[in-house]
Chains A and B, each alone.
Chain A
Amino acid sequence: MRVRTVLNADEISRAITRIAHEILESNKGAGDLTILGIPTRGVPLAQRLTAKIADIEPGVDPAQICGSLDITMYRDDLRHGKLRAPEPTHIPPGGIDGRAVVLVDDVLFSGRTIRAALDAIADIGRPAAVRLAVLVDRGHRSLPIRADHVGKNLPTALDERVFVGLEEIDGEDTVTISWPETAEAEGDQA
């Protein structure tokens, strides 16, 4: 496997700051905003995003707008693969009815996670709008889903692997892309 770093800690931080501004701009302030991270790595990203928003907009209480949304029970592949243990879902005290919900995830790939998240949201309540913020969009969508706020667009091949490391979980902020040795060798010959 060959590995290349795509984003370092500073670049991740700058991307989150920019997304925070974008969200506030498109939402016209922080009113009725709810930020829901999708476990595992979407949750710390959502917390950082909320902290940034609270820095920019005075009077925002992170505990009131930031939460997590587990999508395990809504996956379309529960019958296949191994048994999955659900992660905690935490909806902020005000609920999500009539609010602008921003879903936060680390990597947008096939879009199946987001489809599951939309189903989960529909069962919990009826938000006024749902938007999607991701740190990395690596393409290869298999569903008609797009992100509203993207940290970095990363064109990839299907056999490449994108990894987002976050300090809260992995001890280090980094985004890397890795690909099999053989593909590289063929590339060299061409």
Chain B
Amino acid sequence: MKHLLSTADLSREDAIGLLDVAEEMTQVSTHSVKKLPVLRGHTVVNLFFEDSTRTRISFEAAAKRLSADVINFSAKGSSVSKGESLQDTAQTLGAMGADAVVVRHNGSGTPYRLATTGWIDAGVVNAGDGTHEHPTQALLDSFTLRRTLTGSPASGPGGHARGTDLAGTTVAVVGDILHSRVARSNVHLLTTLGARVVLIAPPTLLPWGVETWPAEVFYDFDEALDAHDFDAVMMLRVQFERMHQSFFPNTREYSRLWGLTAGRYARLPEHTAIMHPGPMNRGFEICAQAADSPRAVILNQVENGVAVRMAVLYSLLTGKEGAL
């Protein structure tokens, strides 16, 4: 594996392999030296053209725990604001000897462009491109889900989920599917791992062609709750910054119809994991009661993100041939 651009590129074996490596990476926190010497002398560049807190920090922590050197680049305050193109930025980084580039960009397909043009000879990790994909988020979601399903601690060391997939589970993805790269990556990966995906959203927030996706679609949250016993409910943020028109009458109506309200939270089965890729808007798509409940694994997702990203960097930067 040279690049990680989309979860659609991962076979079931690749995906389980990555999650298994991540299981081992969680062990590092038990060591007295919380670092592995794997990527000593490698340089990882975080190339962020879009705002991010947790993804950038998570990638930075992951690279540092593997002993790589990290260069953080954000478009604000760089030559990009003077009009430098993506090609020139990439070639500059290449000339400085970057071994891996973690890229986030508001244009869908930017990581693919970087990986295929030859502007830079480095492994490319997609950290979110426009409304296309966010593969490491999907991997950490599946990792967290696999942990909770096997009765392991939801994060940290001590998991016993190695080698298992998500066969037989049903996962609801609720909210702004149209603008969500997290949803796209999750639909691919969850399906690859054998889970059933149910999308719940107002018709205006579902992408064109959603009927071709390997997922069942509900326009009504309550109908979906009647129809399925969900193992996990993944709430998505409504991405107002990508909306240039009105997709629903007002926020109160959205919250009432498609939010995880206290009423719907009470209807969920006892074992349902409540997930959110963050950042959350409490009281809008998710009520505080659900977000703070013991069934919420939202902070576990953040914690697992570091181990999963360590696994991705490890798989991209070591070994000369073949997959896991």
Q: Do A78 and B38 touch (CB < 8 A)?
A: yes
Tell whether, in the assembled complex, residue A84 and residue B37 are in contact, meaning their CB atoms are under 8 Å apart: no
Decide if the interface of chain A is mainly helix, strand, loop or mixed.
loop
Chain B residues in 8 Å Cβ range of A70: 24
The answer to whether the Cβ of B120 comes within 8 Å of any Cβ in the partner chain is: no
CB nearest neighbor in A for B160: A88
- A64-94: contact bitstring with B at CB < 8 Å (1 yes, 0 no)? 0000001001100011111111111101000
Which B residues touch A80, using CB under 8 A? 320
* Contact between chains at B320 and A85 (CB < 8 Å): no
Q: Does B20 contact A (CB under 8 A)?
A: yes
Does B319 contact A88, Cβ atoms closer than 8 Å? no
**Contact across chains for A83 and B324 when beta carbons are under 8 A apart:** yes
Q: Mark B25-50, 1 if CB is under 8 A from A, else 0.
A: 00100111101111000000000000
Contact for B322 among A82, A87, A91, A126, CB less than 8 A: A82
Chain B 172-195 near chain A by CB (<8 Å), digits 1 or 0: 000000000000000000000000
B152-167 interface (Cβ within 8 A of A): 162
Least CB separation from B36: chain A residue = A73
Residues of chain B at interface, number, CB under 8 A: 25
Is A124 in contact with chain B by the CB < 8 A criterion?
yes
- Could you tell me the distance between the alpha carbons of A82 and B315 in the complex, rounded to whole angstroms? 10
- Please give the distance in Å from B139's CB to the nearest CB on chain A: 15
Is there contact, CB below 8 Å, between B31 and A83? no
Find chain A residues with CB under 8 A from B323 CB: 83
In angstroms, Cα B21 to Cα A84, docked, is: 10
Are A83 and B37 neighbours in the complex by a CB distance under 8 Å? no
Contact pick for B32, options A73, A87, A126, CB 8 Å: A126
Kindly provide the distance from the CB of A152 to the nearest chain B CB, expressed in whole angstroms: 32
Query: Per a CB cutoff under 8 Å, which of A74, A79, A83, A119 touches B315?
Result: A83
For residue B24, which residues in chain A have a CB less than 8 angstroms away from its CB?
Answer: 70, 73, 86-89
Tell me whether A122 is interfacial, beta carbon within 8 Å: yes
Whether A78 contacts B318 in the complex (CB less than 8 A), given A73-B38, A88-B162, A123-B31, comes out as yes
Q: Closest approach, in angstroms, between the C-beta of A164 and any C-beta of chain B?
A: 24
Candidate in B20, B35, B315, B319 with the most chain A CB atoms within 10 angstroms = B319
Q: Interface residue count for A (Cβ, 8 Å)? A: 23
Interfacial chain A residues near B162, Cβ < 8 Å: 88
**Which residues of chain A are within 8 angstroms of B314 by Cβ–Cβ distance?**
73
B321 within 8 A of A: yes
Please give 9 more A-B residue pairs, beta carbons under 8 A apart, in addition to A78-B318, A83-B1.
Answer: A73-B36, A73-B314, A74-B37, A79-B320, A81-B320, A83-B324, A89-B27, A91-B30, A124-B30
Listed by A's residue number, 29 A-B pairs whose Cβ atoms lie within 8 Å are: A70-B24, A73-B24, A73-B36, A73-B37, A73-B38, A73-B314, A74-B36, A74-B37, A79-B318, A79-B320, A81-B320, A82-B321, A83-B315, A83-B319, A83-B321, A83-B323, A83-B324, A84-B318, A84-B319, A85-B17, A85-B20, A85-B324, A88-B162, A89-B24, A89-B27, A97-B32, A122-B33, A123-B33, A124-B33
Chain B positions near chain A (C-beta within 8 angstroms): 1, 17, 20-21, 23-24, 27, 30-33, 35-38, 162, 314-315, 318-324
